[in-house]
Amino acid sequence: MVAEIDLNENAAYVVIDGQLTKVLPKKFGTDEIHWKDGKVLDVVRSERHRLKGQSEI
């Protein structure tokens, strides 16, 4: 099976058993990939908030 992806778009791609998942970028934060038995199990996304005197986040 073959899939086409746009190389002009910033993203990460995960393939599990022939299924493609695009992980879209976000403005700030971290994406952490968890593996189990040689396959991606989870993607954990965390987001960073820079404090600049705002009253709430």
Q: What is the rounded average pLDDT of the residues 43-54?
A: 92
Residue length of the chain: 57
> How do residues 7-35 score in pLDDT, each as one tens digit?
999 999 999 999 999 999 988 889 999 99
- Computed over every residue of the chain, the mean pLDDT equals 93
> How do residues 33-44 score in pLDDT, each as one tens digit?
999 999 999 999
Buried/exposed code over 24-57 (b: 16+ C-beta within 10 A; e: otherwise): eeeeeeeeeeeeeeeeeeeeeeeeeeeeeeeeee
Show me where the domains of the chain are located. Answer: 12-46
Buried/exposed code over 1-12 (b: 16+ C-beta within 10 A; e: otherwise): eeeeeeeeeeee
